[in-house]
Amino acid sequence: MFKFPYHHEEPKIVFDKIYGEHDIYYYSMRILSNHLTNLEKYQGIYTIDLDNADDYCKLEMNINDRIIITKHELPNENVVYKIIRSIKSEHFLKFIKSYCRNNNISYTTNLNYIDTRKFLAYACIELINIYKNDMINGWIDNKWKKVESPQCKSYNL
């Protein structure tokens, strides 16, 4: 059974780059952490519900903006490729099958024809959906409410 390797309250590992050492698990945690911090800081929102289409779309748009549109965090395709290579095999196979199915791409197609940035964004949102409880405290099902704790004043790393 896979155990998510990072948690926002464990400051022992904080990399200079938001994607760590080309690690999708660290990158996904940082994206979620940053998204929740920005909601709190700029919009005064302390709760989200991923069952609510608006909240889910905002998170998805944030991820797409960071990875696909602006490209400032991931400057070149080599970095994107290295992050994708960090996906564990049990996750990669599941994500690539569902990504291909959702985008009407044959699963047996040459993987060179898959848009790596779109696949990375898809994998990040899937990891966040699966492991959000392991990344950040305060989740009950798909609902998050900020948890006040002395160890964690801000979710931003």
Q: Tell me the per-residue pLDDT of 40-62, one tens digit each, with 9 for 90 and over.
A: 889 998 899 999 999 999 999 99
CA dist 89 → 25, 27, 80, 84, 92 (Å): 13, 17, 17, 11, 5
Q: Is residue 8 part of a domain?
A: no
Residue 157 clears pLDDT 50, i.e. is over it = no
Q: Is residue 13 part of a domain?
A: no
Q: Tell me the per-residue pLDDT of 112-122, one tens digit each, with 9 for 90 and over.
A: 778 999 999 99
pTM, entire model? 0.85
Residue 10 clears pLDDT 90, i.e. is over it = no
Q: Is residue 9 part of a domain?
A: no
Q: Is residue 39 part of a domain?
A: yes
Q: Is residue 94 part of a domain?
A: yes
Q: Is residue 132 part of a domain?
A: yes
Domain count across the chain? 1
The arrangement of strands across the sheet holding 143-145 comes to 47-49, 143-145, 139-140
Section 59-80 average pLDDT? 91
Q: Is residue 3 part of a domain?
A: no
**What is the domain range of residue 65?**
24-145
Q: Tell me the per-residue pLDDT of 12-36, one tens digit each, with 9 for 90 and over.
A: 565 666 666 788 988 898 899 889 9
